[in-house]
Amino acid sequence: MDKNMNILVVDDFSTMRRIVKNLLIEIGFKNIAEADDGKTALPILEQGGIDFLVTDWNMPGMAGIDLLKAVRANPELAALPVLMVTAEAKREQIMEAAQAGVNGYVVKPFTADTLKNKIDKVFERVES
């Protein structure tokens, strides 16, 4: 896993973005961009250069699940690894995210270890 990869963190709560960003820095990542919902995230992704997307589900404007579907529908972005970090924990939602092609799913509240493990797993699978 390349620690210099560009990561986009999408969450409508700035405090949660800061927490995720700090944990990613702690893991060793250096290049982290932020967006506050799917609508602002999508243009950043479409510009290219993002290697890993970490997104919340429940956001105004464009929800994380719709962002995931938009990513998978775009041939340029379809292979982008996506980790959902969200408080949404209904069975049907997790199944919907899995069907939409999510690479990992972390429920809030989460620990630093959980986040690290799930990121490791995402890239184990992507790289294998």
Q: Which residues bind other proteins (CB under 8 A)?
A: 14-15, 18-19, 22, 57-60, 63-66, 86-95, 98, 104-108, 110, 114
Distance in angstroms (rounded) separating the CA atoms of residues 85 and 20: 9
Peptide bond into 109 cis (omega under 30): yes
Neighbours of 121 (CB within 10 A): 13
Residue 64 or 81 having the CB closest to other proteins: 64
Whole-number minimum distance, CB 114 to other proteins, in Å? 6
Whole-number minimum distance, CB 42 to other proteins, in Å? 16
Give kind and range of the element (H or E) at residue 106. Answer: strand 104-107
Residue 7 or 86 having the CB closest to other proteins: 86
Whole-number minimum distance, CB 90 to other proteins, in Å? 5
Neighbours of 8 (CB within 10 A): 21
Residue 76 or 111 having the CB closest to other proteins: 111
